[in-house]
Structure formats: structure tokens, C-alpha cells
Amino acid sequence: EKKARLAQDSTTKGLATCRVLLAELEAHQDAWPFLTPVNHKAVPGYRKVIKKPMDFSTIREKLITNQYSNWETFIVDVNLIFENCERFNEDDSEIGRAGHSMRIFFDKRWAELLM
Ligand SMILES: CO[C@H](O)CCc1ccc(O)cc1
């Protein structure tokens, strides 16, 4: 699996798999809080608390404009979404629960597709 992982790292195949993975994330029923950038004008404190906002539409734009060098840099941005969510939302809240659900789904899928 290490050999496979090395093969995935640098090939376009690794980034093509990221597109598949991103489409699955966006289609997930719990993706709704994460589809577009948080409107920090409408959410008091967000801009102050969350230093590196991230969302699925921003990741898609970065994939399309070739801003990810490999699948690992893609994974970093996806995990940033979940870290931001945990920082800003109670675990026992609608959005907090959506974040946990999406993280569990993502952890399972990227391991299946990229490891
Ligand atoms: C991914 O969503 C962000 O964590 C913002 C969550 C939020 C938005 C508005 C509110 O009134 C409370 C939380």
C-alpha cells in the first residue's frame, strides 16, 4: 500500500481521485453548512475566530485552477473545514453534528480511495 500511495502522490490520478472525493462530499446530505464560504458579515465573530476559512466551493476552485500539488495538500484543506467547524460550533448543535458526520464519511472514503 506504500507503493500505491507513492504512485498516487505525484500522478494526476491522485488529483482526479480528489475530484471524485470532492463530488461525494458536496453530494452528502450533511454537506449544507460547508458548500460555500461562511458569510462572515452575517456571523458575528467568525472572521476573528476562524483564521483560515475553507469550504467545498473554494476547494473545487483550487482543484480546477491547479492549486493543489498532490492529494495531501487537498486533504489538508478538507480537514481545515472540519477543524473550523469544531472550533466555532458546539458538538451538540445542528452544524456541529453535520461537521462530525462529514468528517467520519471523509476519513473512511479517502482511506479507501487514496491509501
Ligand atoms: C460552517 O458553518 C460555520 O461554522 C458557521 C456556523 C454558524 C452560522 C450562523 C450561526 O448563527 C451560527 C453558526
48-90 pLDDT per residue, tens: 999 999 999 999 999 999 999 999 999 999 999 999 999 999 9
What is the widest separation between alpha-carbon atoms in the chain?
Answer: 47
Q: Model-level pTM?
A: 0.91
Q: ipTM value of the model?
A: 0.94
Q: Please tell me if the CB atom of residue 89 comes closer than 6 angstroms to any atom of ligand 1.
A: yes
The DSSP-derived string for 37-89 is ---TTTSTTHHHH-SS---HHHHHHHHHTT--SSHHHHHHHHHHHHHHHHHHS
Mutate to test the pocket of ligand 1, among 32, 51, 88 (most ligand atoms within 8 A of CB): 88
CA of 95 to the centre of ligand 1 (A): 7
Q: 27-44, pLDDT tens digit by residue?
A: 999 999 999 999 999 999
43: which DSSP letter?
A: S
Q: How far apart are CA 100 and CA 78, in angstroms?
A: 13
